[in-house]
Homo-oligomer: A and B are copies of this chain.
Amino acid sequence: MLSFIEENYIKSIYKIAEASGGPVSTNSLAEKMGIKAATVTDMLRKLSDKSFIHYQKYQGVTLSEKGNNRALQIIRKHRLWEMFLVQKLNFGWDEVHEVAEQLEHIQSEKLIHELDRFLDYPTIDPHGEPIPTASLEMNREPVWYLFNFRKADILTVVGVSDDSALFLNMLDSLAISLGSLIEILECNEYDNSFLIKLNNKATVLISQKVAQNLIVQPNNDRK
């Protein structure tokens, strides 16, 4: 049995590793979780004893297979609950994260299985992120971010990789949502910002930070 806190460590290791590819440093974990590095070191030893991670002093940490499965299970629960909140309980996509952070720790196989059925086996969450399946496979196609594209490319927004209320409110105020059509008018090398035409109407400027968190698909229907 893992505590909420231990589960949060595993989830954070997963998220950092997913973004960086390599092993996860003590400091990056401490920063992400808002705690001190010394605390992280203690917990890494503990999770290593329980064989959820591979940990060598000073060498960073990677998830073991057991740890990886646990991370995917937590993410699966998080995203299913987000879907439930949006589809059944009238939550906005910018309101679900906090509550899902709590719900993802509820322990019950049957609960998740039945929730999945009740939602009719969704494959993506309200932010366009894939929901790992019951067998913990992530049927994720290659993911493209806005910043992967260049001038004149035309794209559709299909997801976001940051579900903080702050970011989602930002998108709302830019009038960007899932399905929005984006034409890149300019890539500014100076600050890595993008000038885009949104839905063939408004022209808006997108900062590097926003561009890094917008998941898009290239759009073939050029006019």
Contact = CB atoms under 8 A, between A and B. Distances in A.
A186 interface: no
Interface string A109-145: 0110011011000000000000000000000000000
Contact of A114 (B89, B102, B111): B89
Nearest to A85: B111
A206 to B, nearest CB: 30
Contact of A111 (B89, B110, B111, B117): B89
Contacts of A90: 114, 117
B118 A95 contact: no
Provide the main secondary structure of the chain A interface.
helix
Contacts of A106: 99, 102-103
A107 interface: yes
Interface in A68-105: 85, 88-91, 95, 98-99, 102-103
A99 B108 contact: yes
Nearest to A90: B114
A89 B118 contact: yes
A115 B102 contact: no
Given A98-B108, A102-B106, 17 more contacts: A85-B111, A88-B118, A89-B111, A89-B114, A89-B115, A89-B118, A90-B114, A90-B117, A91-B110, A91-B114, A95-B110, A99-B106, A99-B108, A102-B107, A102-B108, A103-B103, A103-B106
10 contacts: A89-B111, A89-B114, A89-B115, A89-B118, A90-B114, A91-B110, A98-B108, A99-B110, A102-B106, A102-B107
